[in-house]
């Protein structure tokens, strides 16, 4: 279990291409399976009985994030050596990330290979949509896990094998909390919010919006039909992240997409 966010068993993670069987995953243990002992243990664990549980939880969280950060730096080095620009797209479910990726691949892919790593708890649905655009894609199913981490990205890269000089778009698991904590080694973090979600999200989920290099306000074609104050959303986001760039657009109609493509070309 991920101690930082309480999400599920990392050994349940599957990395696979659409239509393919799950690839073997690596267990992050130093011993072989199966275990030759049964639970509960009859042996003593070297716990410090005087260490408060809350303090130990914080220590484990710090250790977990430190390990992830080290792996992320390895990813960042590898990506830089291969001139690959990786973008981590984060949002709540249903914000329109996959539609944004589909349109980006079709309209901004000329002269630059675009590859995608899809993160979801289950299914190949989004990966199949990306594959229909002609882009190379790998699906990472996290099981009960609520985010991608640096090791998952490493394994996704090994399966995807993106060509040098490509643009790698990583669609993280739909969640406005945990993905902001886990560096993947990406060149930029993009938070996508749709106007159907409500304009209060920056203040309700401050860590996510504070971590963003770019915020996209998607589904602006629906503004006449929903109660969403774009100015308030932008103001609240900049109260957390003063220098952040914010792009209102519609991935469905294409309105505002040129500014998104310009941002990508500057990386």
- pTM (two decimals): 0.81
Confidence of residue 108 (pLDDT cuts 50, 70, 90): confident
Strand partners, 194: 218
Classify residue 248: in a domain, yes or no: yes
Task: Round the average pLDDT of the chain to a whole number and report it.
Answer: 86
Share of the chain above pLDDT 70, in %: 78
CA distance 190 to 168: 13
3 versus 67: the higher-pLDDT residue is 67
Q: Tell me, what's the pLDDT at 27?
A: 39
Edge-to-edge strand list for the sheet holding 245-248:
14-16, 136-141, 114-120, 167-171, 85-91, 188-194, 214-218, 245-248
Q: H/E element holding 202?
A: helix 201-204
pLDDT digits (tens, 9 = 90+) for 122-144: 999 999 999 999 999 999 999 98
pLDDT at 148 over 70: yes
Classify residue 214: in a domain, yes or no: yes
Classify residue 118: in a domain, yes or no: yes
What is the rounded radius of gyration, in angstroms, for the C-alpha atoms of the chain? 20
Q: Tell me, what's the pLDDT at 112?
A: 87
Number of domains forming the structure of the chain: 1
What CATH number does residue 203 fall under? 3.40.50.300
Q: Tell me, what's the pLDDT at 16?
A: 72
**DSSP H stretches of helix in 36-124:** 53-81, 97-108
Strand partners, 139: 16, 118
Tell me the two tokens of residue 219: 């589904």
Place of tokens 């981490």: 149
Following CA atoms 193, 196, 200, 206 in sequence, which dihedral angle do they give, to the nearest 10 degrees?
Answer: -20
Place of tokens 């393919």: 20
- For residue 251, the enclosing domain spans 66-265
Which residues of 99-240 form beta strands (DSSP E)?
114-120, 136-141, 167-171, 188-194, 214-218
Please tell me the total number of residues recorded for the chain in this structure: 267
User: Hey, how many other C-beta atoms are within 10 angstroms of the C-beta on 194?
Assistant: 23
Classify residue 162: in a domain, yes or no: yes
User: Which residues, including other chains, have CB under 8 Å from residue 34's CB and lie 6 or more apart?
Assistant: none
Sign of CA dihedral 147, 34, 71, 266: negative
Q: What is the mean pLDDT of residues 192-221?
A: 98
Q: Tell me, what's the pLDDT at 15?
A: 79
Classify residue 14: in a domain, yes or no: no
């Amino acid at each position: 279990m991920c101690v930082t966010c309480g999400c599920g068993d990392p050994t349940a993670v599957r990395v696979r291409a659409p239509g393919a069987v799950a690839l073997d995953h690596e267990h992050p243990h130093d011993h072989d399976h199966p275990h030759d002992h049964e639970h509960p243990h009859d042996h003593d664990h070297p716990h410090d009985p005087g260490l408060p549980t809350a303090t130990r939880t914080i220590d484990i969280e710090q250790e977990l994030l430190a390990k992830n950060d080290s792996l992320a730096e390895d990813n960042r080095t590898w990506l830089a050596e291969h001139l690959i620009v990786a973008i981590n797209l984060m949002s709540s479910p249903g914000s329109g990330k996959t539609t944004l990726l589909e349109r980006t691949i079709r309209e901004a892919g000329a002269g630059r290979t675009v590859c995608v790593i899809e993160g979801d708890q289950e299914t190949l649905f989004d990966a199949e949509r990306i594959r229909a655009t002609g882009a190379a894609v790998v699906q990472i199913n996290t099981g009960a896990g609520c985010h991608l981490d640096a090791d998952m990205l490493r394994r996704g890269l090994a399966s995807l094998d993106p060509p040098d000089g490509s643009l790698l778009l990583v669609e993280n698991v739909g969640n406005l909390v945990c993905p902001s904590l886990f560096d993947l080694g990406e060149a930029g973090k993009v938070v996508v919010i749709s106007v159907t979600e409500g304009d209060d999200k920056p203040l309700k989920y401050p860590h996510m919006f504070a971590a963003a290099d770019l915020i996209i306000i998607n589904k602006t074609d629906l503004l006449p039909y929903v109660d969403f104050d774009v100015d308030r959303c932008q103001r609240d986001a900049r109260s957390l992240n003063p220098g952040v760039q914010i792009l209102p657009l519609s991935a469905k109609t294409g309105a505002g997409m040129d500014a998104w493509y310009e941002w990508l070309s500057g990386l």
